[in-house]
Amino acid sequence: MLNLNDLQWFVRVVDHGGFAAAARALEVPKSTLSKRVAQLEATLGVRLIQRSSRVFVVSDTGQAFYRHAAAMLVEAEAAESVVRGLQAEPAGIVRLTASVTTAQLVLAELLPALAARHPRLQVMLHATDRFVDLVQEGFDIGVRDHSVPLPDSDLVQRRVGHEPFYAVASPGYLAAHGGAPVHPRDLAAHDALLLSPAPSAQVWTFLRDGEAIGVRPVPRFFADEPWTLLRAALAGVGIGCLPRGLCQPDIEAGRLVRLLADFRYGASMTTTLLISHRRGQLPSVRAAVDFLVEGLARYRGFEEPRAL
């Protein structure tokens, strides 16, 4: 029979990425954690963590075991929340994942305030541009910025709001290329900063008075994340269509010029929170979700902040 306390120690060690970090966070001796995980491995007859003085790697078996053990602890946390009435004081670990750009430009500003508001919360952010399976990888909340609808899933989708894209260029670029375009068709003669070399991504669509105007600018620079495109626009490489919240500070400072303000770019960026059903009812996760809905809408100035 497994010692359930050993499962908890193992999960916490993996959460913190090592025995030393977990020992500091949990305020227990490192030797105690190492001994308990070793006992768990002996009981199971498998190696869960490959470790040495310089290496800490969770084995494939360890990763699979971690997912189930973490789920078990979630249920225990939920039961404890009911018994102890922790709804009034959110506590525990909240695990979030977001793209690198969203983490650096938005969540880096918001999450410290979340931790300050709820001192008993432990906030863990994982920033990555790869696909993340929230349930399989043990995350509570995924922050997703997207210009097309997200696929259906078993996750709760809570839409926060959306913001338009602006066509922008630096004053230097415009001076070197005959001034600002006055109609979307003028963009056909201009260099473009694009998210993808795919043919569909190289056509920009603008809307006005019910008319859709498609134009294919000159492909000049590609990057699959908007922060790099913003830097290219500031450097005068070309014209980019970027989320308002990303480029607005540079527009206000005069480093960028908004173009074609009488037209609306065909796409907009929507921000949605993805929430695991399993953990969505925990007070800690609910508190984080409510904070992010409020904070993201305020920070980005969303036009339609609302939940679905």
Backbone angles phi, psi at 23, to 5 degrees: -60, -40
Relative orientation angle of helices 4-16 and 30-44, to the nearest 10 degrees: 120
Is residue 144 classed as helix, strand or coil in its secondary structure? strand
**According to CATH, what is the number of the domain 1-84?**
1.10.10.10
Domain residue ranges of the chain, discontinuous segments joined by +: 1-84, 163-269
Alpha-carbon distance 172 to 72, whole Å? Answer: 58
Digit-by-digit pLDDT tens for the chain (308 residues) are: 678 788 888 988 998 888 888 888 888 898 898 898 998 888 888 999 988 777 888 998 988 888 888 877 777 776 666 565 555 578 888 999 999 888 988 899 899 999 999 998 999 999 998 888 888 788 999 999 887 788 877 788 898 888 899 999 999 999 999 999 999 999 999 999 999 999 988 999 999 998 999 999 999 999 988 889 999 999 999 999 999 988 999 999 999 999 999 999 988 888 999 998 766 678 888 899 999 999 888 877 665 433 33
Secondary structure (H, E, C), 83-99: HHCHHHCCCEEEEEEEC
Matching CATH number, 163-269, of 3.40.50.1100, 3.40.190.10, 3.90.25.10, 2.60.40.10: 3.40.190.10
User: Same CATH fold, 163-269 and 1-84?
Assistant: no
Prediction pTM value:
0.65
Structure letter (DSSP) for residue 274: E
Residue 115: its pLDDT value, please?
Answer: 94
Alpha-carbon distance 274 to 155, whole Å? Answer: 6
CA distances (Å), origin 18, targets 109, 126, 279, 282: 27, 16, 24, 26
Q: For residue 284, which amino acid is it?
A: S
